[in-house]
Structure 1
Amino acid sequence: MFSPLIKGDIISIYSPSKPATAIAKARYERGKARLEALGFTLKEGSLTGKEDYYRSGTPKERAEELNALLRDPHIKMILPTMGGTNANSMLPYLDYEAFQHNPKILVGLSDVTAILLAMYAKTGLPVFYGPSVASTLGEFPPFVHYTEQYFKDLFLRSLSIPYDMPIPPIWTDDRVNWLEKTTEKTQHPNSWITVQPGIAEGRLIGGNINTMYGFIGTPYFPQIKEGDILLLEDTSKSIAVVEKNFAMLKLHGIFDKASAIILGKHEQYDDLGSGRKPYDVLLEQLDGCAIPIIADVDCCHTHPLHAMPIGLRVRVDSTNKQITFLENWFS
């Protein structure tokens, strides 16, 4: 399927939505430097440094930037600069056959959910909900040190299966120090939350819920199967939007098929004074369905971040707050 990255391998970078190389250049350069320090050769996409107000280019321009990287046989991994809002507009123009015939380690989060799930739906190849160059790898220490270590554990060496996902000792969703370091970020002691106990095994599927809203029900959205484990996360949303998005999944019948749910930490969540957490809203939508649910997992917009394999089998033991990868993506 894939092979572990080694020094000298080419990692390519593209801008599927926000023009991070223009509007967050300092953070982007930090992320690039971190990858180069690991010994990788970087190949930047054609939209690097370009900006069209809220995006890096038109839908076709952004798709062609990614297509050129998908078609390059020398590239081992493709990372986004960051997310945004409009990656779903690229989906009709992407070269799915190129990914199918020349697989690469395709990683991203947030708005990149649209590209990841579409690629998986069209090819059946696993993709990875994980770091982007600017927003994740451009973070400051100490948080980025854990993210980098997890990146190395997952992609730079053969994985020992079963693999238990670690819980980092600290986390933050503090928004200071986005471009330049001005003060120390708030460090929270870390833990995951057992919302409903139990154990389940199944195919991991999911990503950013607000992004799913833009293409669910289309041919680019994977068919949810009985027994799937859902990975769900979001950022900077109010409880009202969280309810809307959970209800969307319910109305599509997705919760009826899930065997367990993993909720990522919600960065900068606004409970609108209700005191309710995202998992409280989720439980309302589940109507008493007692599947295992584990919440506040470090796999999304907060720091540190640990990547997760979409399309491969995992085990969720919410009672003991454990997530275990059961399939290796290296051949």
Structure 2
Amino acid sequence: MPNKLEHGDTIGIISPSSPVAAYCPIRFKRSVKELQRLGFNIKIGKNALNKLGHLAGSVKERAFDFNQMVKDPKVKMIISTIGGYNSNQLIEHIDFQQIVENPKIILGYSDFTSLLLAINTKTGLTTYMGPSLLPQFGEYGGIDPFTFYWFNKMICSGDLNGKLLPSSRWTEEFLLWDKEDIRPKKYKINPGYLTIKEGVAEGKVISGNMGAMLSLAGTQYFPDFKDKILFLEDDPEETPGSIDRYLTQFRHLEVYNKITGLVIGRFHSNVGFSDDYPLSEIIIKATEGFNFPIIINADFGHTDPMATIPNGINAKLISSRGNSKIKFIN
């Protein structure tokens, strides 16, 4: 278990996949200033602002930044600027033994979860699915209070116990970075969790982006799902068909034979689930024949706010109509 992050500690910033940070300098600077306002020192990776097509530099450049942050004794946490595609390219270029000898808090979501899952699988160290630099710390007016609460609780306080209650409000509004993001986003009332299948589950947490997680299938980095509670999220660019395909692939990989419960993060409306075949029906079909509890619309994924979810800690899921609960237990 990495040590908790304290005021005055150094956070290392890397871009393991997308080059968006290079195209949004105002948002990037604002994100860095927010972390500094919260009391942290910042180290920016040498290649964090590179761009090479859809990537923030070559594989070697991106892996170099990650490895340098791992080796630097002053860096206590590594955070990704944003998601994107192809963080999994870095996996074969990182030294897992070096990570074990120099444990860090490693934080991010979306595409970066392929790396988080590989590290957790190979080392057993806790990794954290949670806010990334640009989307959350770069918000106009600062990080959302709910997002900060869970970041502070899990990362700074090191308190891995507690109930993950639904946020009171949420937003999916996107304001074009460096042009339109000059006001707070508009929020909606959060109706809370939606129960798909009732029941009670206990197990260790495994969390990640569906596509990123499935990119590890068939490799030594794919997680062991036995007796796990699975937390899944995915992008606004996905479609009902692609989500259906991913959830079916988990079935074919016999993941549902092993897990004790399933929690799905809130999807952006751009995914476009239809009224006649909504997400709930897609999930019911994919998990047909299995009786583990399932809830959806939890506070993580590609909407805000989001909780910080530690891979590898114990959790309890109670799924019941109108009263579902998620409890982390360390």
TM-score normalized by the length of structure 1: 0.93
Q: Which residue of 2 aligns with 1:116?
A: 116
Distance 1:195 1:89, change over 3 A: same
8 Å contact from structure 1 (residues 235, 268) kept in 2: no
8 Å contact from structure 2 (residues 130, 309) kept in 1: yes
Q: Which residue of 2 aligns with 1:323?
A: 326
8 Å contact from structure 1 (residues 71, 102) kept in 2: yes
SS in 2 for 1:117: helix
Q: Kindly provide the amino acid, as one letter, of the partner of residue 231 in structure 1.
A: F
Q: Which runs of 5+ in 2 are unaligned?
A: none
Q: Kindly provide the amino acid, as one letter, of the partner of residue 278 in structure 1.
A: L
SS in 2 for 1:34: helix
Deviation, structure 1 residue 317: 1.1
Distance 1:182 1:104 in 2: 34
How much identity, in percent, do the aligned residues show?
Answer: 31
Q: Map 1:22-101; keep pairs closer than 5 Å.
A: 22-101=22-101
Q: Which residue of 2 aligns with 1:165?
A: 164
Deviation, structure 1 residue 203: 0.9
8 Å contact from structure 1 (residues 143, 170) kept in 2: no
8 Å contact from structure 1 (residues 2, 105) kept in 2: yes
Aligned-residue RMSD, C-alpha? 1.8
8 Å contact from structure 1 (residues 96, 123) kept in 2: yes
Deviating more after overlay: 172-181 vs 189-198: 172-181
Distance 1:285 1:5 in 2: 39
SS in 2 for 1:299: strand
What whole-Å deviation, never above 9, does each CA across 1:263-306 have from its counterpart, x for those lacking one? 00112343364543323211101114221111100122210111
8 Å contact from structure 2 (residues 208, 233) kept in 1: yes
Q: Kindly provide the amino acid, as one letter, of the partner of residue 257 in structure 1.
A: K
What whole-Å deviation, never above 9, does each CA across 1:64-113 have from its counterpart, x for those lacking one? 11011111122111100001011111111112111111101111100001
Q: Map 1:259-298; keep pairs closer than 5 Å.
A: 259-271=260-272, 273-298=274-299
Distance 1:321 1:300 in 2: 19
Distance 1:33 1:162, change over 3 A: same
8 Å contact from structure 1 (residues 137, 148) kept in 2: no
Distance 1:206 1:272 in 2: 22
8 Å contact from structure 1 (residues 196, 292) kept in 2: yes
How many residue pairs align between the two structures? 325
Distance 1:302 1:143, change over 3 A: farther
Aligned: 1:134 with 2:129: no
Q: Which runs of 5+ in 1 are unaligned?
A: none
Distance 1:262 1:209 in 2: 12
Deviation, structure 1 residue 148: 1.9
Deviation, structure 1 residue 141: 4.6
Distance 1:217 1:58 in 2: 25
Aligned: 1:207 with 2:208: yes
